[in-house]
Amino acid sequence: MAHPTLSLLITNPWFVAIALNTTLGAIALLLPRIVLTTAGILHAWGLGILVWGCLGVRGYALIVGYLVLGSAVTRIGKDIKTAKGIAEKRDGARGPENLWGSAFTAALCALGYLLSPAPYWWLGYTASLSTKLADTTASEVGKAYGRRTFLITTLQPVPAGTEGAVSLEGTLAGVGGAMAIALLGYSLQVISPTDGVICLLAAQLATTCESILGATLQQRYPWLTNEVVNGINTAIGAATAIGLAHLFINS
């Protein structure tokens, strides 16, 4: 029979979170840095503990799914992007700045759910990740396979990889990326089918805003790095999704 203290630890989500993420982090440190840099692994350890502790296995599975899909997407057309000089640095391995630029909004939603459990936190969490994968997919596919790339504010042709540039191929791929996370969220039973549609709409609005921001203000202000813009992008996606849900579902 298990000791009462041990039983309490095993059933405590924070103990499970620390044990699981420490084990996975140790394994990751022994492997080649394909997905995350060393610093990125350490920060992912903290993020993983936070997400599991706040949202449990379903929230953890969703953000791991995003990380796996996002890393795979950065390798689409890698040789083409390398030849153009617009491939991701560090061969696509993510550092702390990339991790938090992508997941800071999701982390806030997880904390929000811990402090005040409500379904809209799950929606915001899923929408933020859906938005970020839409942005990543649109950018990576557009840079590699976009046949005609336009600046979103003027519709003037620009080279692939230009901040604020969009292409038909990238835009359609972005919809697919957003849909992948929405479907994963639905399969994990953290959002409803209606919420999934809301995530798609929010992701498209947010990525459009991100492109406009990239084409205008990002070039003027050095502090508006890609990571900061990513944080703004995911925040818009989460806030839009929660707002749409309150407007059309709870009204």
Cα first-last separation, the chain: 52
- Max Cα–Cα distance, the chain, nearest Å: 71
The predicted structure's pLDDT at residue 10: 62
Q: What does the pLDDT profile of the chain (251 residues) look like in tens digits?
A: 445 655 555 678 899 999 999 999 999 898 886 778 889 999 999 999 999 999 999 999 999 999 999 988 988 887 777 777 766 665 667 888 999 999 999 999 999 999 999 999 999 999 999 999 999 999 999 888 888 999 999 999 998 888 888 999 999 999 999 999 999 999 999 999 999 999 999 999 999 999 999 999 888 888 899 999 999 999 999 999 999 998 887 65
Contact 134, 166 (CB under 8 A): no
Domain locations along the chain? 65-248
Question: pTM value?
Answer: 0.91
Nearest to 127 by CA among 44, 84, 68, 186: 186
Phi, psi of 117, rounded to the nearest 5 degrees: -55, 125
Q: What is the pLDDT of residue 74?
A: 87
